[in-house]
Structure 1
Amino acid sequence: MTASAPSAHHEISLAELYDDPYPIYARLRESDPVCWLPAAGRYLVTRHSDVVHLERHPEIFRANEEGSLMTRVMGHTMIRKDGDAHRRERAAAEPALRPRIVKEHWQPLFERNTHQLIDEFVARGSVDLFSDFAGPLAARNLACLLGLPNVAATDLQTWSQAMIDGGGANYGDDHAVWARARAATEAVDAAIDEILPRVRRNPDPSVISCMVHADDPLTLDEIRANVKVIIGGGLNEPRDAILTAAWAVLGDPELRTEVTADPSLWPRVFEEAVRWIAPIGMYPRQVAEPTELAGVRLQPGDKIGVCLGSANRDEAVFSDPDRFDIHRSKTPPHIAFGGGPHFCLGTWAARLSVGRIALPILFDRIPDLALSQDEPVRIGGWVFRGLLTLPVTVPAGTAPHSY
């Protein structure tokens, strides 16, 4: 095939992508899988095979993007580094997130947090699982993981959203968004500075402690930047996975009967949820050398938008991709956690906290949980996508947990 210059899609707006990117992605996958999106200032890559190829060649498609929104907000994080620099910082944080540590140390804390939150809202009868359960739970779990007992869940949620709005999605250059992001980063820095003397004296299994006591300890700037990026992804991803999965189960009586009868299926619900609506819908890369992708010529410096939300609904890979189906083939797998050297560091914590704790406990403790008939579910986003509300009703008489 002769390589060509990519076409430009001036007709696609960021607002349309925010409202519902999937019809747009379907058109692009079919006719223009690598295209220029002027509204975002980058080439969108929408097919599963091209995303996999890109992740297998990090020497060509670099994470260290010039002018990165994330770097502007959070500092130079490991997510925007390549090669040895990335490996060094990832290795410093990784011990706190190993599967064995997650299971042995963090699981009891995640279970306690889940039960406590349910106890807090069951008496109210009508709640929003976004604001009353999934958001606070993700924040409490993350505060434990990071080692920030001095931070309230409400603050962590506010900071996370502000940094995501700026560093992950502010392609429209909204100055108010930048101001909120700056305020959040200053608050995160203050919280880290407050806790560092304690973990220097008394090491613990937390991410911050691991960064401080690594064989090659991270600098203060490196700790600050990487804690910020973990607050962003480590809060919104499990939150949105809980909400997507709960919404799917609440809306499908047959699926609900199946998973409540066989709780071993909940991890499948989690995996299908992050395929169906990938919490990280798009992330950036930058081309390092002349190359071709899907027959399109790309040059050094070209900026890429890697559309996981599109790749995970590629009809060439997943049959009936818009349908929620926990029994679909696992081969090829979804790529909601990315791939290559930047495969999500928090994958095991997310799988445990959502698929093996939050969802089974929620539906076990409240078997008659139901979608609200009075308030609609709202959903939005394309760089990060998820439910914005999930109003439900809780029958009277749900018993508190016995600790």
Structure 2
Amino acid sequence: MATDAITVGGVDLTEPDVYLAGMPYDAFRELRHRAPVAWHPHGDTGFWALTRYDDIYAVSRDSETWSSQATGVFFDVPAPEDAYQLELMMLTMDPPRHTALRALVSRGFTPRHVARLGARTADMAREIVDDALERGECEFVNDVAGALPSYVIAELLGIPTEDGRRLYALTDIMNTRPLHDPELVQAQTEMFEYASALAALKRASPGDDIATALLHAEVDGQRLTDLEFNLFFLLLINAGGDTTRNLVAAGTLALIDHPEQRLRLTADPSLMPTAIEEMLRWTSPVTVFTRTATRDTEVGGVRMRSGERVAMFYPSANRDEAHFADPDRFDVGRTPNQHLAFGGGGTHFCLGASLARAEAAAIFREILTRTTDIEPIGPVERVRSVLMNGIRSMPVRLVPAAVPA
């Protein structure tokens, strides 16, 4: 009989309130040690909970055996009438179509776009910290951590900054409401309407931006359809904004909770690249994705039948003692650090990984050089979500660094 993940770990890993109280690292540790591949009941299907680094890495890199498209990548399996959407979104698409579409989308991230964006990202980070320092106190998640990715996305797409902020607000609704919730449906509708209007505008008046590049790029003589553009637009706004916001907010909280590591990083800015990687490992902005077996197979010594599902818990993989020395220690100089915060590689490795790193580095450079302390002035509230590992609210006071004479 299969080991029950809830019994071993002590929590229901599909319950949003579990994550609202904090990432269940104790449950993950028990599962890694006692049942790294454990059956987890959920709805009519259930899934195998994977909590060990090696198993998650192996499944991530084997898209022939493990499909994103068959039943989607979330706990809940789409209803039959909604299943067609799975073959249209990159996140839930299998090769070879995924390979062709990813190549097309990559045309939008040309060296010219990325280089120009790097300079603008530094300017935007400076302006954001300017505003926060001028106020003295701020709601850090919205005013700092969430501001930069929304500005960067606006820059990427060639749209007004205020539109980037509105789209960012829509993603917050979409990631915290249950399926078919009226507010979620309304947010999706607004997002698609905006994407359609943007596509019409960029086709009529092309610009030097990624939206234009995406609409005009071709792979094997094919361009993105209107629906594919809308769905990619949704993915870009959603994943790009949330991942960076969660990284910056939770990374800042890690520096607050580990002042000796903040001092170390401030004293030695050359540690910034390893610090960003450690923040990614420590925070794991995305909690879980699922895959479906396309044939009978085996994971971690457990036999599985075609059609059975697995769930890959990235925060657990990133605290796996077999891969990280003293994994519950936050260390801005940690190396090596082959975390799985962006997935385990393979077909669905995060397309915006480099951009997220660049955004985080830009904002942390400003924070570390222009403040001497960040003091919490209210409770830290986490996001109620089984998908995104994030902070909803973190009111702080910024203590400015002395201005040289």
1:391 to partner: Cα distance: 2.4
User: Is residue 49 from structure 1 mapped to residue 67 from structure 2 by the alignment?
Assistant: no
- Structure 1: distance between partners of 2:291 and 2:59: 9
1:382 to partner: Cα distance: 4.4
One of 147, 162, 185 as aligned partner of 2:173: 162
What letter is aligned with 2:136?
A: G
Residue 9 of structure 1 aligns with which residue? 6
1:39 to partner: Cα distance: 3.9
One of 129, 138, 142 as aligned partner of 2:149: 138
Q: How does 1:233-248 map to 2 (within 5 A)?
A: 233-248=239-254
One of 324, 335, 360 as aligned partner of 2:365: 360
Residue 95 of structure 2 aligns with which residue? 83
Alpha-carbon spacing, 1:205–1:265, altered in 2? closer, same or farther (3 Å): farther
SS in 2 for 1:385: coil
Q: How does 1:295-310 map to 2 (within 5 A)?
A: 295-310=301-316
One of 128, 132, 143 as aligned partner of 1:117: 128
Kindly indicate whether the alpha-carbon contact (under 8 Å) linking 2:5 and 2:35 is maintained by their aligned counterparts in 1.
no
Alpha-carbon spacing, 1:217–1:251, altered in 2? closer, same or farther (3 Å): same
Residue 227 of structure 1 aligns with which residue? 233
- Structure 2: distance between partners of 1:96 and 1:359: 26
Alpha-carbon spacing, 1:146–1:165, altered in 2? closer, same or farther (3 Å): farther
One of 270, 277, 286 as aligned partner of 2:276: 270
Residue 214 of structure 1 aligns with which residue? 217
Q: Which runs of 5+ in 2 are unaligned?
A: none
Residue 389 of structure 1 aligns with which residue? 393
Kindly indicate whether the alpha-carbon contact (under 8 Å) linking 2:274 and 2:334 is maintained by their aligned counterparts in 1.
no
Kindly indicate whether the alpha-carbon contact (under 8 Å) linking 1:12 and 1:39 is maintained by their aligned counterparts in 2.
no
One of 49, 69, 90 as aligned partner of 1:64: 69
What letter is aligned with 1:16?
A: V
Kindly indicate whether the alpha-carbon contact (under 8 Å) linking 2:271 and 2:333 is maintained by their aligned counterparts in 1.
no
Kindly indicate whether the alpha-carbon contact (under 8 Å) linking 1:268 and 1:326 is maintained by their aligned counterparts in 2.
yes
What is the RMSD computed on CA atoms of the aligned residues?
A: 2.5
What letter is aligned with 1:133?
A: V
Q: Which runs of 5+ in 1 are unaligned?
A: none
What letter is aligned with 1:113?
A: M
SS in 2 for 1:336: coil
Mean Cα displacement is larger for which, 390-399 or 21-30? 390-399
Kindly indicate whether the alpha-carbon contact (under 8 Å) linking 1:47 and 1:311 is maintained by their aligned counterparts in 2.
yes
Superposition TM-score, scaled by structure 2 size: 0.87
Residue 184 of structure 2 aligns with which residue? 181
1:317-360 Cα distance to aligned partner (Å, 9 max, x none) = 111111111222315x11111110111000111111112x1110
Residue 33 of structure 1 aligns with which residue? 36
**Identical positions, percent:** 27
Mean Cα displacement is larger for which, 207-216 or 27-36? 207-216
- Structure 2: distance between partners of 1:6 and 1:62: 24
Alpha-carbon spacing, 1:306–1:18, altered in 2? closer, same or farther (3 Å): farther
Residue-pair matches, total = 383
Residue 202 of structure 2 aligns with which residue? 199
- Structure 2: distance between partners of 1:45 and 1:337: 16
Superposition TM-score, scaled by structure 1 size: 0.87
Kindly indicate whether the alpha-carbon contact (under 8 Å) linking 2:154 and 2:160 is maintained by their aligned counterparts in 1.
yes
Residue 250 of structure 1 aligns with which residue? 256
Residue 318 of structure 2 aligns with which residue? 312
- Structure 2: distance between partners of 1:341 and 1:67: 15
- Structure 2: distance between partners of 1:260 and 1:145: 30
SS in 2 for 1:30: helix
1:293 to partner: Cα distance: 0.7
1:272-321 Cα distance to aligned partner (Å, 9 max, x none) = 11101100111121111111111212112212211111101111111111
Alpha-carbon spacing, 1:115–1:328, altered in 2? closer, same or farther (3 Å): closer
SS in 2 for 1:51: helix
- Structure 1: distance between partners of 2:243 and 2:135: 26
SS in 2 for 1:284: strand
